[in-house]
Amino acid sequence: MKNIKTTLLTAFVFVLMLTSGSAKAQLTDGVFRAAGTPENPKVEATWNHYYNYKGISELTERIAKAHPKLAKRTSIGKSYEGRDIWMLTVSNFENGNPDRKPAIYIDGNIHSNEIQGTEMSLYTAWYLTESFGDVEFITELLNDKTFYIVPTINPDAREHFMTKANTASSPRSGLKPIDNDGDGLIDEDPMDDLNGDGHITMMRRKSDRGTFREDPTYPNRMIRVPRDEYGDYEMLGYEGLDNDGDGRINEDREGYYDPNRDWGWNWQPDYIQGGAHKYPFSLPETRAVKDFVMTRPNIAAAQSYHNSGGMLLRGPGVAEDIRTYNRQDVQVYDMLGRMGERLIPGYRYLVVYDDLYDVFGGELDWFYGVRGVFTFSNELWTSYQMFQTNDRKPTDSYEFDKYLLFGDATVKWEPYDHPQYGKIEIGGFKKNFGRAHPGFLLEQDAHRNMAFTIYHAYHTPKLEIDEITEKNLGGGLKEVTAVVTNTRLMPTHASIDVNNKIMPPNIISIEGATVEAGMIVNNRDLNQTTEQKNRPDRIEVNNIPGMSSVTVRWIISKGNNYTIKVDSQKGGVVTRKK
């Protein structure tokens, strides 16, 4: 009997193993791999919806745990309400110190309603870690580079946008309500969700002398009638109440403190730049980013995700800074930006102050002006993506909702008994449409924007010592010449960096030899050099331009087995033995 029980138990365990194995096989073997997609991800994630703070925390933790040699999760600080501002450092940790590799910093969701930057950032971390080892390009990229990825730098406001009633454009920062109309009263709940659906839509009221009527094809769309005609409705604005009794609806909005006007470059107070807070970095979230970036001189590129409009933006934010972005650096920006237009159809490469509006105290200009970092801001989502055409019509959003979202983006007009306006109707677009991607388009845009960011990161400096030559000078002296090449677009020091001495110079040194003289070779053919008399073994080079080389030379009296070393803050550390 005992043997029978043992046999049955063994068989049962075997069946369980087979069942478990077949279930796994269905997941891994029951699919045909699509090009450009991780085949068997360790971290299962979906990219057709938006993650709240809990989801962000869980996903970043899962990525770090599944890929401990590629990803590390840390908190760079706390938000206004005490939430951790999570960051994923992504690199091949077994191939050098990630903080000494050329790096790109990425963040998203600086504004509360501009949510999809978080998904673009998370997708980038997920894709890089899941593709390492399978895709040669990604493997080499993470061997060489580091990605510092902060999915949301405004977690409080993101949670506010998602969990409270808002429009597609509110709130901006998610702090506290302020007295916007100057009546001395503060409406503590300025955006009233009258029908309780989680969205702030529009109010209309029937009127024999109205100025609007319904579009017969798209009933949610209100059309303004000609001046010599009367419509059926008058529009009353966003749904809401006069909570503070001053005779106005929704006037005391959430505090308009704009985190993208809080940076310490060309900062201006609120009466000049609306949205500025008390002083530069007065908001804890931007201060946390600043503190982190200041300790990472290896950051050569940066990317901040916003919405919307389909734009790849660079500075300057104001005309006063036009000379700050000099010609050499603009050429790098232009080459990167033009490729971005090709990678992301419908997006345009633009300059903030020239093509949009003035921004004082913006993140773009701080990264470039204070740290010498080539920085872009992607304004995610554009109406081009609805029908993939620039031939736009006023009805596009309604047609898109009707035929591709099947009415899910709108609230149909429904009656409501308003305490001030009487019998009204409430309806219109939901808060998750208009600025945010519909789910089925989110992953595509995440991948394309990630591809641009990867292209941006790829072109951070990559240094190689591609030539070492010797010449016997007689008398026990030898001439050693080394050529250091930067094989990427970005220089080791942006022009603003060189002009303002933001970062220390590159150091090209020779170790294991007795150095009598050291020099930079200005013209090798004509033997024109500039000698460095102090510490000749460590030659200081202000910049190694993109797609270019520098040549250095030493006169040594001893040493046959020496090592040439290049130490660059933004270009990393490279060595080569003779």
CA-CA distance, 334 to 310, in Å (whole number)?
A: 17
pLDDT at 180: 58
pLDDT at 255: 57
Nearest to 485 by CA among 453, 462, 504, 502: 462
pLDDT at 245: 74
- Residue owning tokens 């924007």: 449
The DSSP element (H or E) to which 108 belongs, if any, is strand 103-108
Residue 305 and residue 121 in contact, taking contact as beta carbons nearer than 8 Å = yes
Q: Which residues pair with 565 in a beta bridge?
A: 509, 575
Residue extents of the structural domains in the chain: 53-160+268-381+438-458, 177-253+410-429, 463-577
477-486 and 202-210: which strand pairing? unpaired
Overall residue count recorded for the chain in this entry:
578
Check for a shared fold between 53-160+268-381+438-458 and 463-577. Answer: no
In sequence order, which ranges of 30-92 are alpha helices (DSSP H)?
A: 53-66
Of the CA atoms within 13 Å of residue 530, those in its CB half-sphere come to 7
pLDDT at 18: 36
- Residue owning tokens 């130490």: 567
Q: What is the pLDDT along the chain (578 residues), one digit of tens a residue?
A: 444 444 444 443 333 333 333 333 335 567 888 999 998 899 999 999 999 999 999 999 999 999 999 999 999 999 999 999 999 999 999 999 999 999 999 999 999 999 999 999 999 999 999 999 999 999 999 999 999 999 999 999 999 999 988 899 887 775 555 555 555 555 555 678 999 999 999 999 999 999 999 999 999 999 999 999 999 999 999 999 887 777 778 765 555 689 999 999 999 999 999 889 899 999 999 999 999 999 999 999 999 999 999 999 999 999 999 999 999 999 999 999 999 999 999 999 999 999 999 999 999 999 999 999 999 999 999 999 999 999 999 999 999 999 999 999 999 999 999 999 999 999 999 999 999 999 999 999 999 999 999 999 999 999 999 999 999 999 999 999 999 999 999 999 999 999 999 999 999 999 999 999 999 999 999 999 999 999 999 999 999 999 999 999 999 998 889 999 999 999 999 999 98
Residue 480 and residue 510 in contact, taking contact as beta carbons nearer than 8 Å = yes
Range 463-577 classified under CATH 2.60.40.10:
yes
Among 3.40.50.720, 3.40.630.10, 3.10.250.10, 3.40.190.10, name the CATH number for the domain at 53-160+268-381+438-458: 3.40.630.10
Find how far residue 506's CA is from the centre of its chain.
Answer: 28
